[in-house]
């Protein structure tokens, strides 16, 4: 009898070890799948990441969410659709006596420490190539950026006054380039394809654009500051943005084969025009 019990116990141990091994293998497979998935996402450009993150926002929009134009630019009312705050009114953040531009920010507790670190890296990157200094908000600040995980990725253009939400949703927006993109909006920059001189560089094919999304390709009276049109700008959307039929919505001219909309972080021109706007 004791011999049978010992065999039974051994069988249970062997079975447990087998199941444990299967479980470990399953966890390794899952981890491998996740890493492959993350790798494929990391290969996307900033504009592709933004479109992917914001593609279903209309299904989840609440009354508290701002109106979005051009995919990720927030506005307060329909009256702002055709206005560029940076040319219609003062939208720049002020410069301190030491020549630096201090932009207060607050990162809400929506984010994990790892996610907050991605945001902080994006904020701090500006200090390496400009006079912009994002710093934690203080009680005396009247204007500040509130970085939150709301529906999708979006920002208002330029300084608005008071609390100003920059949304970096935990699902889809937490990449270095997307953080830089939304912060550039907050500093006063629009998308490259809406530049006033756009038609000299990009042909928009509205026949391929999703119905109701044509307004995303409007031109506005942007402050181009003598800078060249930049196909490699982190603010330039990709060739198939808002396409309804997998056909291009934008084609470069005169050479249709020029690569564009592939930026994963700010370009030299993005940095140069930021420094020109703020006289760094």
| Of the candidate ranges 5-14, 72-81, 230-239, 270-279, the one whose mean pLDDT is the lowest | 5-14
CA distances from 178 to 128, 155, 223 (A): 18, 11, 22
CA distances from 187 to 43, 190, 225 (A): 26, 10, 15
181 labelled ligand-binding: yes
Question: Which pLDDT band, with edges at 50, 70 and 90, does 220 fall under?
Answer: confident
Tokens standing for residue 52: 């992917």
Question: Which pLDDT band, with edges at 50, 70 and 90, does 112 fall under?
Answer: very high
In percent, the amount of the chain with pLDDT more than 90 equals 54
Tokens standing for residue 92: 């720049």
Most distant CA atoms of the chain, gap in Å: 93
Tokens standing for residue 93: 């953040």
CA 36, CA 30: separation in Å to the nearest integer?
10
**Tokens 């939150």 sit on residue:** 148
Residue 254 falls in which region: left (phi positive, over 0), alpha (psi -120 to 50) or beta: alpha
CA distances from 90 to 66, 85, 159 (A): 21, 7, 8
191 labelled ligand-binding: yes
CA 86, CA 223: separation in Å to the nearest integer?
8
CATH topology (fold) of 43-187: Collagenase (Catalytic Domain) (3.40.390)
Query: Count of CB atoms within 10 A of residue 156's CB?
Result: 21
Query: Count of CB atoms within 10 A of residue 159's CB?
Result: 22
pLDDT digits (tens, 9 = 90+) for 202-216: 999 999 999 988 888
| Of the candidate ranges 56-70, 104-118, 178-192, 232-246, the one whose mean pLDDT is the lowest | 56-70
pLDDT at position 87? 52
Phi, psi of 187, deg, nearest 5: -85, -10
Contact predicate 49/177, CB 8 Å: yes
SS3 34: helix
Q: What is the dihedral of CA 44, 75, 118, 111, to 10 degrees?
A: -120
CA 96, CA 105: separation in Å to the nearest integer?
16
- The answer to whether residue 149 scores a pLDDT higher than 50 is yes
| pTM for the structure as a whole | 0.75
CA 156, CA 77: separation in Å to the nearest integer?
12
pLDDT at position 85? 55
> Which residues are identified as catalytic?
182
pLDDT at position 60? 59
pLDDT digits (tens, 9 = 90+) for 222-274: 777 788 999 999 999 999 999 999 999 999 999 999 999 999 999 999 999 99
Sign, CA dihedral 69-272-180-103, equals: negative
Contact predicate 235/192, CB 8 Å: yes
Averaged pLDDT score across all residues of the chain: 80
Please give the residue that has the higher pLDDT: either 33 or 126. Answer: 126
CA distances from 251 to 59, 96, 195 (A): 30, 42, 15
């Amino acid at each position: 009898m004791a011999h049978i019990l010992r065999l039974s116990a051994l069988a249970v141990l062997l079975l447990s070890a087998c199941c444990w091994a299967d479980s470990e293998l399953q966890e390794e497979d899952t981890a491998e799948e996740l890493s492959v998935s993350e790798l494929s996402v990391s290969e996307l450009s900033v504009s592709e990441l933004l479109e992917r993150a914001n593609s279903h926002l209309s299904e989840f929009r609440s009354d508290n969410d701002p109106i979005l134009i051009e995919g990720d630019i927030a506005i307060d009312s329909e009256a702002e659709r055709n206005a560029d705050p940076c040319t219609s009114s003062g939208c720049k953040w002020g410069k301190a006596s030491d020549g630096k531009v201090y932009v207060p920010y607050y990162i809400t507790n929506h984010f994990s420490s790892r996610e907050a670190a991605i945001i902080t890296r994006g904020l701090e990157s500006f200090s390496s190539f400009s006079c912009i200094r994002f710093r934690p908000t203080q009680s005396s600040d009247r204007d500040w950026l509130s970085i939150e995980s709301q529906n999708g990725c979006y920002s208002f253009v330029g300084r608005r006054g008071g609390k100003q939400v920059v949304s970096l949703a935990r699902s889809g927006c937490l990449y270095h380039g997307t953080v830089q993109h939304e912060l550039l909006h907050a500093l006063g920059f629009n998308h490259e394809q809406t530049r006033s001189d756009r038609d000299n560089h990009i042909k928009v094919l509205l026949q391929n654009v999703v119905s109701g999304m044509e307004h995303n390709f409007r031109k506005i009276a942007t402050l181009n500051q003598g800078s060249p049109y930049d196909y490699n700008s982190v603010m330039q959307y990709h060739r198939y943005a808002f396409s309804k039929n997998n056909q291009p919505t934008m084609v470069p001219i005169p050479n249709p084969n020029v690569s564009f909309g592939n930026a994963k972080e700010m370009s030299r021109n993005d940095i140069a025009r930021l420094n020109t706007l703020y006289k760094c």
